[in-house]
Structure 1
Amino acid sequence: MSGERARVLLASARAAEGLDEDEVPLLAALAAQGVQARAAAWDDPSVTWEEADLVVLRSTWDYPERLADFLDWLEHVAGVTTVRNPVDVVRWNVDKRYLVDLTAAGVPTVPTRLVEPGTAFELPELADGGGPVVVKPAVAAGSRDALRVEADGEAVARAHVERLHADDRTALVQPYLAGVDAAGEAAVVYLGGHLSHAITKGAILAEGGPPVDGLFAPERLTPRTLTPAERHAADRTVEAAAGLFGRRPEDLIYARVDLLPADDGEPLLLELELTEPSLFLRLTAGGPARAAERIAAAARAVA
């Protein structure tokens, strides 16, 4: 590629066309960095991925329903060019069983129970203190198929688990932490291992509401100033995740740490997004430029 500008493809999905609000400002910021960049759907067979110096996973938001195909595509692309985040990290991160690994690594995490297909489900064992729980698939994105279930809703919860099991999907059950209703969810964004910005996401799952349908759940978003405890929890999460793969946080081109407040206010990890997270770049000054700088540096390093 000597003498040419670095070339980057932002991997999207045909189902997500026009829905990623960060795509246009990020492409403009990459152009300002002297990078040739465009978006391309991962499921478009006409794309020649090997022509890119770097493929960055962005809005591949339909992968949960096509996981095997997505992972096969990912391995193919990694065989012909460089993919970020790294493939081994993505393979781990697409299944929320990773929460078990992070808990074992000492990250304070929302209590999580995995209910594998064929496993009996009993709501009273899972509801902490008789409160509501959230039932969702272990492989999912955008809160799809997540359901809030009240303490007296065992039949509703069991029916939802059975629907997931019928599709050979593992269910994940967590207590609904009521602090989110007032404080919201903290979404903490890192670019190249460095804190970029944070966003407050309003509570999504309403009492008595149906499971989230569609490609992703609508969100109420506002900029957020992190508390010292939230910053510490988010830093610890990214460091632990990178360490599991013998890497540094700087090796992750992006990461989003989603935190919820426990009853005592302690920030607990809800999800760590290393595959295709919305980064809310448009909601922070200089966000697209910071992301473009990290992507451009990674692309030039391999061009």
Structure 2
Amino acid sequence: MLRSPWDYSRRRDEFVAWAATVPALANPAATVAWNTDKRYLAELAAAGVPVVPTTWLSPGDPVELPADGEWVIKPAVSAGSVDTGRYNLTDPSHRALALSHVARLVEAGRVTMLQPYLPAVDTYGETALLYLGGRYSHAIRKGPMLDGPDLGVEGLYKEEAITPRTPTDAERAVADAVLAAVPGGADHLLYARVDLIPGPDGSPLLVELELTEPSLFLGYADGAADRLATAITGTLGR
């Protein structure tokens, strides 16, 4: 069971190749390979899942940024909000920093993501729904993390402000739809985390689906650790 290889994004090809050699890895190596490149979001969107609108820039593509508004720029292979920044493209200085950020990623041969910043994260926050053994277990709220351009991160991830949360019926429905759209189905997943933020109309949008090495926040819900242990023993039984 993978738990905290949060530096995998720096050597993803090597990490995915290693995962394929681990017998009975949970979640399976094929899922790890699919989930460690955020272009899976495009597949889920094509399957009808409500996903944050995303523009993908591959090395060699022309770089055309929107004329205004707040936007998030990050690489398709990343973890812990590293190499991720928030930019007000109406501000000339931010626009210059955004172009520099994209250029830095492109020069490194990385696919870049451009997404609108969802202002609801500043007030309502982000809802992360945790599933263990294919069943909903608990949820937490994450506070806002992106306060401006990417200036680098000390360590492997940005610190998070976490509190328990009871998800809405709409969030539960979207999370269930996300897992139903996972290639091969959700039955083979030992654990999953679905991260949602309200869109402009208040409806939940998928930000990320964490199937590789997510924090499971077991300390924020009574019985969560026991539910994980039960799910693990069930997997061993199969």
Whether the aligned pair in 1 keeps the contact of 2:133 and 2:190 (CA below 8 Å) is yes
Tell me how far apart the structure 2 counterparts of residues 69 and 265 of structure 1 sit (CA, whole Å). Answer: 40
* Aligned positions of 1:130-279 closer than 5 A: 130-151=68-89, 152=91, 153-208=94-149, 210-241=151-182, 244-245=183-184, 247=185, 249-279=186-216
User: Which residue of the other structure, out of 15, 27, 31, is the alignment partner of 1:70?
Assistant: 15
Whether the aligned pair in 2 keeps the contact of 1:259 and 1:267 (CA below 8 Å) is yes
Residue 31 of structure 2 corresponds to: 89
Tell me how far apart the structure 2 counterparts of residues 165 and 265 of structure 1 sit (CA, whole Å). Answer: 33
Tell me how far apart the structure 1 counterparts of residues 117 and 31 of structure 2 sit (CA, whole Å). Answer: 28
Q: How many residues align?
A: 235
Give a deviation string over 1:14-38, Cα, whole Å, max 9, x none. xxxxxxxxxxxxxxxxxxxxxxxxx
* Aligned positions of 1:4-15 closer than 5 A: none
Q: Secondary structure at the match of 1:162?
A: helix
Tell me how far apart the structure 1 counterparts of residues 110 and 54 of structure 2 sit (CA, whole Å). Answer: 16
Q: CA deviation at 1:222?
A: 0.3
Q: CA deviation at 1:207?
A: 3.4
Tell me how far apart the structure 1 counterparts of residues 98 and 126 of structure 2 sit (CA, whole Å). Answer: 23
Query: Structure 2 length as normaliser, TM-score?
Result: 0.95
In the superposition, relative to structure 1, how do residues 261 and 277 fare at CA in structure 2: closer, same or farther (>3 Å)? same
Give a deviation string over 1:198-226, Cα, whole Å, max 9, x none. 00000000135634442011000000011
Q: CA deviation at 1:300?
A: 3.0
Tell me how far apart the structure 2 counterparts of residues 208 and 159 of structure 1 sit (CA, whole Å). Answer: 10
In the superposition, relative to structure 1, how do residues 266 and 150 fare at CA in structure 2: closer, same or farther (>3 Å)? same
Tell me how far apart the structure 2 counterparts of residues 167 and 284 of structure 1 sit (CA, whole Å). Answer: 41
Q: Secondary structure at the match of 1:123?
A: coil
In the superposition, relative to structure 1, how do residues 110 and 212 fare at CA in structure 2: closer, same or farther (>3 Å)? farther
* Aligned positions of 1:42-81 closer than 5 A: 56-77=1-22, 81=23
Tell me how far apart the structure 2 counterparts of residues 132 and 210 of structure 1 sit (CA, whole Å). Answer: 17
Q: CA RMSD in A?
A: 1.3
Residue 50 of structure 2 corresponds to: 108
Q: CA deviation at 1:154?
A: 2.0
Whether the aligned pair in 1 keeps the contact of 2:75 and 2:110 (CA below 8 Å) is yes
Whether the aligned pair in 1 keeps the contact of 2:84 and 2:150 (CA below 8 Å) is no
Structure 1 stretch displaced more, 116-125 or 64-73: 116-125
Tell me how far apart the structure 2 counterparts of residues 212 and 110 of structure 1 sit (CA, whole Å). Answer: 24
Amino acid paired to 1:157:
A
Q: Secondary structure at the match of 2:66?
A: helix
Q: Report the structure number with the largest CA radius of gyration.
A: 1
Tell me how far apart the structure 2 counterparts of residues 166 and 154 of structure 1 sit (CA, whole Å). Answer: 18
Amino acid paired to 2:78:
A
Tell me how far apart the structure 2 counterparts of residues 140 and 173 of structure 1 sit (CA, whole Å). Answer: 14
Query: Structure 1 length as normaliser, TM-score?
Result: 0.75
What are structure 2's unaligned runs of at least 5 residues? Answer: none
Give a deviation string over 1:164-201, Cα, whole Å, max 9, x none. 11211111110000011000000010011110000000
Residue 230 of structure 2 corresponds to: 293
Misfit runs of 4+, over 3 Å:
none
Whether the aligned pair in 1 keeps the contact of 2:50 and 2:204 (CA below 8 Å) is yes
Percent identity (aligned): 49
